């Protein structure tokens, strides 16, 4: 049995053979293939391909495969739409940019703004204030008026499809790793985790994703001195972070939660075109400051 690696090219996904698994290894893992109940997948359709991934642990530096898990084709086997991926990454890069520069006008400049010379009998142009834009230390006529943001809301359907495209590319390029749990990490030393990543060809940067924000203490202590190793809960997973790191490591619990949430929104009956209007969220926004009672300072809303 051969293991293939998918490389994303301009013409599509190009799969190349990496290694050939021995028959003994295949027979040993065939009994540990986990048959997951994949939602809305026609088992009788021979043309529906269910992707699979190895399940490993973090007990030792050497990679030890403990089984094979089935992945949902609607999440990990979609068309590689690079345009959707580009829209998601551009959106995440733009909404974080805030221009804080604010140029003062002639009315906002300090000083009284006296008249530089008399109105008549000087032969010069009529000027009313030393803070006029044509003078040094004068106000700006058409300056930048910050804070300014370029925020816009990307449609929910585009964000969902972009996330599925990013996960598909990671799986096709053999950069997706599934582990049983992060509690199996036997050491909290950063050098041990670095040696483990080098031995398993994870690359320079690794993103660990767990089902909740309560992660194993050994993993947190091991990744703290390593700036290129990051731990993230599953609800914070996004296209920018997936493509930023070379390897994506998911726990089994995070895989279940991720597939459940994505499939729920992909196949839900209600519309994905949320309007995000202020009037719809007005009661919630105003209710956040309701418990704050201050006689001097009014609550900031």
Q: DSSP for 70-86?
A: E--HHHHS----HHHHH
Sign of the CA dihedral 144, 148, 154, 155?
A: negative
Backbone CA torsion sign across 275, 280, 286, 291:
negative
Domain ranges, ordered by start, for the chain = 2-83+153-266, 102-119+126-149
What's the pLDDT at 168? 97
pLDDT of residue 27: 47
Check residue 23 and give its pLDDT: 41
The rounded distance, in Å, linking the Cα atoms of 85 and 164 is: 9
Structure tokens at 158: 């585009």
- If you classify domain 2-83+153-266 with CATH, what class do you get? alpha beta
| 116 phi and psi angles, rounded to 5 deg | -70, -35
Q: Each residue's pLDDT tens digit in the chain (301 positions)?
A: 444 455 555 555 554 444 444 444 444 554 456 667 787 787 777 888 889 999 999 999 999 999 999 999 999 999 999 999 999 999 999 988 888 999 999 999 998 889 999 999 999 999 999 999 999 999 999 999 988 888 888 999 999 999 999 999 999 999 999 999 999 999 999 999 999 999 999 999 999 999 998 999 999 999 999 999 999 999 999 999 999 999 999 999 999 999 999 999 998 887 777 666 666 667 766 666 555 555 555 544 4
The pLDDT tens digits for 18-74 are: 444 444 444 455 445 666 778 778 777 788 888 999 999 999 999 999 999 999 999
Query: Are 201 and 209 in contact, with CB atoms under 8 Å apart?
Result: no
Half-sphere exposure of 224 (CA within 13 A, CB side): 10
């Amino acid at each position: 049995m051969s293991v293939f690696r998918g490389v994303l090219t301009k013409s599509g996904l190009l799969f190349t053979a990496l290694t050939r698994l021995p028959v003994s290894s295949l027979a040993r893992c065939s009994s540990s293939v986990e048959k997951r109940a994949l939602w809305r997948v026609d088992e009788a359709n021979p043309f529906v391909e269910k992707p699979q991934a190895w399940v490993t642990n973090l007990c030792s530096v050497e990679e030890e495969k403990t089984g094979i898990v089935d992945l949902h084709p609607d999440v990990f086997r979609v068309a590689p739409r690079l345009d959707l991926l580009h829209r998601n990454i551009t959106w995440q890069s733009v909404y974080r940019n805030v221009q804080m520069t604010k140029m003062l006008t002639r009315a906002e400049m300090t000083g009284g703004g006296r008249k530089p010379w008399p109105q008549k009998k000087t032969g010069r142009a009529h000027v009313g204030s030393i803070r006029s834009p044509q003078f040094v230390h004068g106000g700006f006529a058409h300056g930048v008026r910050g804070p300014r943001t370029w925020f816009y809301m990307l449609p929910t359907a585009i964000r969902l499809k972009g996330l599925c495209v990013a996960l598909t590319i990671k799986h096709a390029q053999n950069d997706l790793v599934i582990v049983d749990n992060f509690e199996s990490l036997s050491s909290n030393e950063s050098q041990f985790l670095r040696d483990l990543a080098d031995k398993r060809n994870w690359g320079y940067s690794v993103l660990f994703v767990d089902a909740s924000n309560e992660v194993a203490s050994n993993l947190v202590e091991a990744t703290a001195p390593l700036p290129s190793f990051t731990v993230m809960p599953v609800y914070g997973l996004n296209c920018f972070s997936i493509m930023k790191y070379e390897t994506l490591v998911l726990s089994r619990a995070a895989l279940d939660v991720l597939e459940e949430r994505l499939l729920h929104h992909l196949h839900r009956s209600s519309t994905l075109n949320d309007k995000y209007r202020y009037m719809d969220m007005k009661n919630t926004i105003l209710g956040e400051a309701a418990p704050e009672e201050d006689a001097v300072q009014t609550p900031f809303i």
